[in-house]
């Protein structure tokens, strides 16, 4: 049990003294970057889903590719 307590004390000391935490402005810019990247990835997945449609055989929507196959 004493080893666990010693580990927790050393971990806390390292977090307080040795870790450099980002400034507020840097943290805000990083957060905005992550948000924009998430929106971009979600948009790409949405477009891929819209183009190829769902894979369910009983689905009404088969995507743009399914619509082309249906017309041809």
pLDDT tens digits, 6-40: 999 999 999 999 988 899 999 999 999 999 999 99
Contacts of 63 (CB under 8 A, 6+ apart): 49, 50, 51, 52, 53, 54
Mean pLDDT for the stretch of residues 41-53: 85
The structure's pTM equals: 0.58
Average pLDDT, the chain: 85
Question: Taken in order 38, 41, 43, 45, is the CA torsion positive or negative?
Answer: negative
Q: Would you state the structure tokens that stand for residue 9, as one six-digit string? A: 């004390």
Q: Between 68 and 59, where is the model more confident?
A: 68
User: Which pLDDT band holds residue 43 (cuts at 50, 70, 90)?
Assistant: very high
In angstroms, rounded to a whole number, what is the distance separating the alpha carbons of residues 45 and 64? 14
Q: Which residue ranges make up each domain of the chain?
A: 22-71
């Amino acid at each position: 049990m004493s080893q666990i307590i010693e580990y927790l004390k050393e971990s806390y000391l390292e977090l307080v003294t040795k870790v450099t935490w980002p400034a507020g402005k840097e943290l805000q810019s990083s957060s905005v970057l992550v948000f924009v990247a998430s929106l971009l990835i979600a948009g790409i997945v949405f477009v891929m889903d819209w183009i190829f449609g769902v894979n369910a055989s009983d689905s009404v929507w088969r995507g743009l590719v399914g619509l082309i196959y249906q017309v041809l």
